A and B are shown apart, each in its own frame.
Chain A
Amino acid sequence: MLEVKNVAKSFNLKNLDKGKFSVIRDACFNVNSGECVALIGNSGCGKSTLMRMIYGNYVCAEGQIYIDKENILDLKAIEMSILRKQKMGYVSQFLRVLPRVSTIDLVMEPLLDQFESRARAKDIAETLLSRLNLSSQLWHLSPLTFSGGEQQRVNIAIGFSKDYKLLLLDEPTASLDRENKKIVMDMISEKKEKGSAILGIFHDKEVRDKVCDREIDVSNFSAS
């Protein structure tokens, strides 16, 4: 499903002297459908950077990244944003949403993008939020006022509302309690069974052992 080939990444801060940093070089790996793969390695070794390149959030200047046999580096911006809507979910550590938009509307948005009816989208969103133990009192509030753990669960609900072919998870369980962590692990397993290819960063070893089929050590691709 996902194939990363000879990918390298450097940042060039042009307003600084010596602002060029190489982070990754020669990254090669793949993730199959129905498989969950963990990126591991020390903090700063480029796990999130790699993940962001796959999502198209960071520019990838070298190598190839194939999603569903399509090299995303050849895609126009509009094609990439369509590919994201159709095939790729991304749960980041941070919640970044428009203020004053209610939680339920945020979770429904990706579904409406795919022309689901409002009623069905609402149904799916409510089921997810209940499952993630978010009190229904909160559904009509903006998540920007929520606690860290609640925000993270909203983020997960947004990313899990559809059955994406590829799911990118950046520390999805970092600020969750045991009970909710368990729910999220179940959800990941279910997505695997439904055939999603999942690539994740999980600092929590218990989670890795439970849901991941393989580990890829990103420090092997480290440029330094």
Chain B
Amino acid sequence: MEQILKAKAINKKFGDVYACNNLSIELYTGEVVGIVGESGSGKSTLLNCLSGSLVPDGGNITYLDRDNNWLDLLSLPEPRKRNLLRTEWAFVHQNPRDGLRMAVSAGGNIGERLMAIGYRNYSQIRAEATEWIEKVEIDAIRLDDKPSIFSGGMQQRLQIAKNLITKPRLIFMDEPTGGLDVSVQARLLDLIRSLVRELGLSVIIVTHDLAVARFMANRLIVMKNGKIVETGLTDQVLDDPQHSYTQLLVSSILKV
């Protein structure tokens, strides 16, 4: 069992408030870790620190790359970091508009990562884009449509295709089903789950929805006020929570 990402003692303050207070987290290959907690608990800040979009005030983050080298992410040169983000990593935003180019066709969006890593054959790019748009269950005839005329669920699936085409190993997801109808949410979660299994991805997923966490994550991290209050197997944390805050959180879920 091998780790792929290790973060030690991550600190991040906004003014006097700790959004991440001395957080350590490890991710293993093939593991899906859910980070839950209410708004303002620091879960998105932690995700942004791990994925390199925020620089923590203190701490240490290392990542095991495809060639089996541990990279120190906080001292990694910017070009290499951006290269990782385009190749070995992916980031799925809550709002697909943050992850897509709305003025560029679906095919152009999906193909962008390929072109960024040097693909220069149009037919090949188009063939791979077609394969991926079908993989995320969008009809291939929509390949030349702009995402602005797609539904929210389709936009989110397009964002996933755009991210996965370069076969990343590590995916960060921030509330990937946050803005969607429940009916669309279930299908999307199932799609993500099967892709995770098929591609052997390691995932860190931030959500405030415990039901999403239960179906997606092997392991759960519960955050409150910038601290990790509890971590463990997802069903264990949800069915036998140990910390008073988690108990409160679990007992507050509305049941249909």
Contact = CB atoms under 8 A, between A and B. Distances in A.
Nearest to A61: B242
Contact of B235 (A12, A15, A57, A101): A57
Contacts of A13: 247
Nearest to A97: B215
B contact residues, range: 20 to 34
A136 interface: no
B243 interface: yes
A98 B233 contact: no
Contacts of B243: 14
Contacts of B232: 59, 77
Interface centre among A78, A79, A100 (most CB of B within 10 A): A78
Contact of B187 (A81, A96, A100): A100
A191 to B, nearest CB: 23
Interface of B: 1, 28, 31, 182-183, 186-187, 189-190, 193, 197, 214-215, 218-219, 231-233, 235-236, 239-240, 242-244, 247-248, 251
Contacts of B193: 98
Contacts of B190: 98, 100-101, 105
B240 A59 contact: yes
B242 to A, nearest CB: 6
15 contacts: A11-B240, A14-B244, A15-B244, A56-B236, A57-B236, A59-B236, A77-B231, A77-B233, A78-B28, A79-B1, A81-B218, A81-B219, A98-B186, A101-B186, A112-B197
B236 A82 contact: no
Contacts of A11: 240
A105 B189 CA distance: 14
B229 to A, nearest CB: 11
